[in-house]
Structure 1
Amino acid sequence: MFKENKKRSQVHNHGHKDHKKHSMDDGHDHSHDEINFDEQEATLGFKDFLPGIISFIIMITGIVMDQLEISFFQGFLRFSWYLVAYLYVGLSVIIKAYKSILKGEVFNEFFLMSIATIGAFAIGEYSEGVAVMLFYFVGELFQEAAANKAKSSIQALLDIRSDETTVIRNGEAIVVDPKEVETDEIIRIKVGEKVSLDGVLLSKEAAFDTAALTGESKPDTKRTGESVLAGMINLNTVCEVRVTAAYADTKLSQILTMIQDATAKKSKTQLFITRFAKIYTPIVVLLATILTFAPALFVENYVFQDWLYRGLVFLVISCPCALVISVPLGYFGGIGLASRNGILFKGSNYLDVMTEIDTVVMDKTGTLTKGVFTVQEVNPKNYSQEELLVFAASLEEHSTHPIATAITAYVKKLYPNNSFEAKEIEEIAGHGLKGTIDGKTILAGNAKLLDKFGITYPDEVKDIVESIVLVGINQTYAGYITVADEIKDDSKEAIEQLHAMGIKTVMLSGDKTSIVDKVAKELNIDTAFGNLLPDDKVRHVEELKKQGRKIAFTGDGINDAPVLALSDAGLAMGGLGSDAAIETADIVIQNDQPSRIPLAIRISKKTRKVVIQNITLAIGVKVIVLALGALGEANLWAAIFADVGVSLIAILNSVRIQFSRIK
């Protein structure tokens, strides 16, 4: 009917494992190294509309000549005139119907359109036959345009992968295909260039645009040793990156594979509509046949041509195009809208699941908090803040514990030129560190460490919730430093939005209960539990499910994978999250923002609302016009509206999702 210009983008498959019920059972062979994603042109050109324009001009001219009752415009000439108009838009449909029949697929829209319009010609209703096919042709063009719009955000993601990269080999910078670069090699990223592979930054500092991965357009400044991901754009300075993942294993490749798979993973509604159309179509063909011939048995003045016309009207009206086209298009639009906001649904079925969620269960560290320890409070006694911090850091720099690392980094940033050399360092397991600095005996650790050495300290420190490091100098209490994980900027907003939706919030964490309770109180979370092992989290979720609750669990660590698999919808934080969590989850939040959880629910509900609107509109109008057609009160023009008109309305309604601004 119209030329389909397609470009092929190749997406590496990183070898998903069957971690969960949602593994992509779509009939595709995921064992190959690459997946081909066929993408139509983003816009339709004049040549695509040309057959319809020509057909329309010929048809209108014919109708005018009919109305003027021009003498020579009759018989074979009149038939031929309308036939030319018909073939411009209908020939490809007839060919598709013929090929489908050869494959054993008889009852589809091509068959219905062909038999109805050929029948119209057979009873002399030439203009109506052309009109049916012409409007069907226009509807197909609108469908293509709508599908291209829905796919545009996904195509944008496909286009962000680099075709070449600069690698440093033997002291020379050479341009190669990113697939040829091995891990631990060094690549150079120019200003304005896309990062082609995951790695760690070797340069002192560089700013990157991460919008393609996270949906956030603000620059992200990276420093030496921090992770840089494929798809980021270097903004301000030439930098060098040591590669940590092969081309097929980059975060970007994983994202693209998720989206590729999502387009094939159908929702229950989509599957129902597909099955419905396969059963519904042969039934309406049978009913149209009965409507045409059965009246001959009991109608006195039976006129075959009249009843054939009613049967043809019935066929055109009954075509399930609006359902078959608009329902998957609506879900596809929802996936596209979500991906533009940094939310990756692994299938349209999870859009349906998210509309039913009434309880959101969350991990704490890395989900509601940043997952990075920072110094919160410094409380010296008989020493200055600087002395306390420098003494503590001089010991702690010899430990790899996250709390020790946090204190060391904090002090180096605050006092870069002030440090002591610690000697005779001794690590006391479960207690802390002991050492000698500038002739002084220094202790840095928990309360048990000071108890061990008989140093008294204020009772108030026992009531401190955060992780605390007590410092002793020469057998005297010198103060304390508290270290805690920071709450993410939008965590409170996320909880407020969930509560506004009537959704219950639960936090499950392996952290100590006092810290968990403090975070829960600050964020106003309904229920919180601490000191949990992975199997404890599973037990809590199972108990909630026994209460009949629909659960979405959000986590980021490998220990969250079992709960992600158990929940109705598993959401993984894709920036900081472990590979196990990301692969097990149904939905990935690429920018690690908790506020994306309620946003995912809102997108799902909007998508579902549009799909239900389309189904209601299509079935409602068809039932009414089918009844009128059977009674002889509807002609082919009414049938055109019930089929093509309703299809167009449903398609345009689906496209609305793509233009939505959901906050």
Structure 2
Amino acid sequence: MKVSNIHKDCCANEETNAKAAMQHSNAAHHHTADAHSDDDGHDHGAEEPAGWLSHWPLLTALGVVVVMMVLEYGFHINFNTLVQLIIFVPAYLLAGYNVLNLAFRKALRLDFFNEFFLMSVATIGAFAIGSYSEGVAVMVFYSIGEWFQDTAVSNAKRSIKALLDIRPDAVDVIREGKIHRVAPAGVAIDEVIQIKPGEKVALDGELLSDKATFNTAALTGESRPDTKKKGEQVLAGMINLNQLSSVQVKAAFKDSKLSKILEMVQDATARKSQTQLFISRFAKIYTPIVFLLAVLVVALPYFFIADYVFKDWLYRGLVFLVISCPCALVVSIPLGYFGGIGLASKNGILFKGSNFLDVMTKVNAVVMDKTGTLTRGVFEVQKVVSNGFDEKELVMLASAIESKSTHPIAQAVVSYAGDVPSGVTIENVEEVAGHGLKGTINGKAVLAGNTKLLKKFSIAYDHKIDAEADTIVVLAVDGKYAGYLTIADEIKADAKQAIADMHRLNIETVMLSGDKQSVVDKVARLLGIDKAFGNLLPEDKVAKVTALKKQGKHLAFVGDGVNDAPVVALADAGIAMGGLGSDATIETADIVIQNDQPSKIVTAIKIGKLTRSIVWQNIALAMGVKLIVLILGAGGVATLWEAVIADVGVALLAILNAVRIQQMKL
């Protein structure tokens, strides 16, 4: 089976279409999730796996082979040529009709170097020299191998989709005091929906009930229930566990985080790893070489061997063709990467393409943002210090201007101050990137941000505040320093262990933050981070990452804010914290960690290395066995029976080895 059954690209469409025709006409194979077109122009979408009865032609042919083997080797009953032809030709056509059909159609387009033509030549050749049972057996076992391969691919793709495709078909929405059952796509932003106990949340929103407990395993990989309080975010895909809950919708159905994740999963199948691309190119070169070698195995001995018997050497050439089929490689390798993506999904990590599994195996430096990545990003105001200004008014002004920002620090200030009093006018609020906010509150020019903001506007302040260990929000009113608020963040529970695990893997850790250096140094010291840089603007982070790359580092950058999007895009592997992260960062990232746990960075690296290890095991197994049997076949030791058993056996072993990735525990 070709790689194109799993991953479609412009170079493989013809093979995909041909394969689809074979699958459709026999009802014995399974399509990929995307609709595609057969050679005859008919479109066929995804199908459910067919039952055993739908494979009756292949099973009938298998039964004939088994019965004839029992009669020949068990009871020593030999049939004459005519009887054998009457028995074996129908069995051969039942097992190989689709293969022969595809080989013929591809040959009309002068495409001779493919597995269908290879198997057709080998089996027809076996009939030509009187090896009828072997010819049928080769076709039967090849088709059985294809059946198992397609089933494995179908199951792998379906298991990944099942991990995430959990969107309910209908939702209860409250309209004019009545509950209406509607499709999620028909619910508008700010409408209120109800979720019954045991029901899945259909749309992203804000919890209106006092509290509710949700199962978030489908999104985060975490089995522990998560209790949300009034006003906290609830995401599509969560399952309400204990009581009827009300949620105010904050995002359209197509814009929910779950919908975006599903789109990412679909896109992931289009991005191939370097290993897959190499195997695709290798198969295109390998197959014609094998055909040439098979011809040479048959023809060359004529010039060097006195008692040359064409029939014997033709048989050896046929063995050579059968064992050379590249099925084990071109199926098991992409299936292995599929398994890696599936295992990551089970652990709350989304890889947007199998190529990023390979990238993570090379990472030797992990660069991280601080807020929301290593710390919870849940801030609380610790103290308020005014400078000749009324403290209550200072807090009100800070809350008023910060109410126009979605930054976690701004939200902490607003939460501390409470709702902005009615009658307060807030005008011309602008964000000064990497510095803070400026605006007009009740006619007063207000600045709120870090000390760089005051320096930018040449406002003098008490430099003693630079020694504050906590994050601070400095305020200036009408061009004069007015005071500051200190805000503390909490380090994530698994952050220290994550850094220690990275060090065990000989990975350098670097922290980049827009926060002041004293805060950054404190966090770095607590966690054991190798290097930490503070007071950075977005462009400074880009410069630091660029400098690390120039040193030859293969680096991953982990962040969650909008200002992290440029460096996420620049890194070899951009990782976004998907629970609290901004949409811009999540869309830019190559890998998304759904539960915001830093320890998942190490998990992603381990999954990448595990996947690569199994892929190369399959390559070594397939190439090793094939090389041995090719030599034995050319030497006249291996028969067609051994060739087909080796070919199908290696393919199935490689597939089983690839499939087991999804069952592994890290």
Q: Give the TM-score taking structure 2 as reference length.
A: 0.81
- Displacement, 1:221? 2.1
- CA deviation string 1:577-604 (max 9, x = no partner): 1111111111111111111101000000
Provide the residue aligned with 1:17 in structure 2: none
Provide the residue aligned with 2:623 in structure 1: 619
Q: 1:561 and 1:81 mapped to 2: Cα distance?
A: 67
Give the aligned residue type for 2:367: V
The answer to which of 509-518 and 160-169 deviates more is: 160-169
5+ residue gaps, structure 2: 1-22, 38-42, 386-390, 426-434, 438-448, 452-462, 475-483
1:367 aligns with 2:385: no
CA contact (8 A) 1:4 1:40 kept: no
- Displacement, 1:537? 0.7
Choose from 27, 31, 49 the match for 1:3: 27
Q: Give the TM-score taking structure 1 as reference length.
A: 0.81
Choose from 104, 122, 140 the match for 1:98: 104
Q: 1:212 and 1:91 mapped to 2: Cα distance?
A: 43
- Quickly say closer, same or farther: Cα 1:647–1:532, change in 2 above 3 A: same
- Displacement, 1:247? 1.7
1:169 aligns with 2:193: no
Q: 1:80 and 1:424 mapped to 2: Cα distance?
A: 96
- Quickly say closer, same or farther: Cα 1:376–1:603, change in 2 above 3 A: farther
Give the aligned residue type for 1:517: D
CA contact (8 A) 1:374 1:486 kept: no
CA contact (8 A) 1:199 1:227 kept: yes
Choose from 508, 511, 525 the match for 1:507: 511
- Quickly say closer, same or farther: Cα 1:96–1:248, change in 2 above 3 A: same
Choose from 309, 323, 328 the match for 2:334: 328
- Displacement, 1:194? 1.4
Q: 2:46 and 2:599 mapped to 1: Cα distance?
A: 32
Provide the residue aligned with 2:40 in structure 1: none
Provide the residue aligned with 1:644 in structure 2: 648
CA contact (8 A) 2:207 2:247 kept: yes
SS in structure 1 opposite 2:529?
coil
Choose from 219, 230, 242 the match for 1:224: 230
Q: 2:31 and 2:297 mapped to 1: Cα distance?
A: 46
SS in structure 1 opposite 2:490?
strand
Provide the residue aligned with 1:246 in structure 2: 252
Give the aligned residue type for 1:560: D
- CA deviation string 1:465-511 (max 9, x = no partner): 013699xxxxxxxxx98531111111111111111101000000000
SS in structure 2 opposite 1:372?
coil
SS in structure 1 opposite 2:469?
coil
CA contact (8 A) 1:149 1:655 kept: no
1:529 aligns with 2:553: no
1:65 aligns with 2:89: no
- Quickly say closer, same or farther: Cα 1:545–1:209, change in 2 above 3 A: same
Provide the residue aligned with 1:146 in structure 2: 152
Give the aligned residue type for 1:639: A
Q: 1:63 and 1:462 mapped to 2: Cα distance?
A: 88
SS in structure 2 opposite 1:369?
coil
Provide the residue aligned with 1:355 in structure 2: 361
Provide the residue aligned with 1:658 in structure 2: 662
The answer to which of 332-341 and 285-294 deviates more is: 285-294
CA contact (8 A) 2:215 2:241 kept: yes
Q: 2:409 and 2:329 mapped to 1: Cα distance?
A: 58
- Displacement, 1:64? 2.9
Q: 2:632 and 2:62 mapped to 1: Cα distance?
A: 27
Q: 2:542 and 2:30 mapped to 1: Cα distance?
A: 46
Give the aligned residue type for 1:599: T
- CA deviation string 1:260-297 (max 9, x = no partner): 01011111110111111111111111221222123223
Q: 1:629 and 1:67 mapped to 2: Cα distance?
A: 23
1:135 aligns with 2:141: yes
CA contact (8 A) 1:213 1:342 kept: yes
Equivalent residues in 2 for 1:73-472, closer than 5 Å: 73-157=79-163, 159-375=165-381, 400=402, 406=412, 409=415, 463-467=467-471
Q: 2:502 and 2:582 mapped to 1: Cα distance?
A: 25
Q: 2:110 and 2:267 mapped to 1: Cα distance?
A: 28
Provide the residue aligned with 1:487 in structure 2: 491
CA contact (8 A) 1:230 1:251 kept: yes
- Quickly say closer, same or farther: Cα 1:261–1:282, change in 2 above 3 A: same
- CA deviation string 1:323-361 (max 9, x = no partner): 111111101111111111111111111111110000000
Give the aligned residue type for 2:148: F
- CA deviation string 1:341-386 (max 9, x = no partner): 111111111111110000000011111111121256899xxxxxxx
Q: 1:267 and 1:344 mapped to 2: Cα distance?
A: 16
CA contact (8 A) 1:622 1:642 kept: yes
Q: What fraction of aligned residue pairs are identical, expressed as a percent? A: 58
Give the aligned residue type for 1:629: G
- Quickly say closer, same or farther: Cα 1:55–1:7, change in 2 above 3 A: closer
SS in structure 2 opposite 1:570?
strand
The answer to which of 103-112 and 627-636 deviates more is: 103-112
- CA deviation string 1:38-63 (max 9, x = no partner): 6554x664325654543333212212
Choose from 631, 637, 649 the match for 1:633: 637
- Displacement, 1:532? 0.3
The answer to which of 513-522 and 194-203 deviates more is: 194-203
Give the aligned residue type for 2:27: K
- Quickly say closer, same or farther: Cα 1:408–1:430, change in 2 above 3 A: closer
Give the aligned residue type for 2:193: I
Give the aligned residue type for 1:209: N
CA contact (8 A) 1:62 1:82 kept: no
SS in structure 1 opposite 2:226?
strand
CA contact (8 A) 1:396 1:405 kept: no
The answer to which of 149-158 and 245-254 deviates more is: 149-158
CA contact (8 A) 2:316 2:636 kept: yes
Equivalent residues in 2 for 1:572-611, closer than 5 Å: 572-611=576-615
- Quickly say closer, same or farther: Cα 1:63–1:468, change in 2 above 3 A: closer
CA contact (8 A) 1:149 1:658 kept: no
The answer to which of 138-147 and 590-599 deviates more is: 138-147
Provide the residue aligned with 1:519 in structure 2: 523
- CA deviation string 1:123-157 (max 9, x = no partner): 11122222222222222232133223422432214
Give the aligned residue type for 2:493: D
Provide the residue aligned with 1:542 in structure 2: 546
CA contact (8 A) 1:5 1:40 kept: no
Equivalent residues in 2 for 1:9-48, closer than 5 Å: 41=48, 45-47=51-53
- Displacement, 1:390? 11
SS in structure 2 opposite 1:97?
helix
- CA deviation string 1:147-171 (max 9, x = no partner): 2342243221453011111222233
- Quickly say closer, same or farther: Cα 1:376–1:76, change in 2 above 3 A: farther
The answer to which of 636-645 and 483-492 deviates more is: 636-645
Q: 2:571 and 2:119 mapped to 1: Cα distance?
A: 45
- CA deviation string 1:516-535 (max 9, x = no partner): 00000000000000000111
Give the aligned residue type for 1:65: L
Give the aligned residue type for 2:556: A
CA contact (8 A) 1:367 1:573 kept: yes
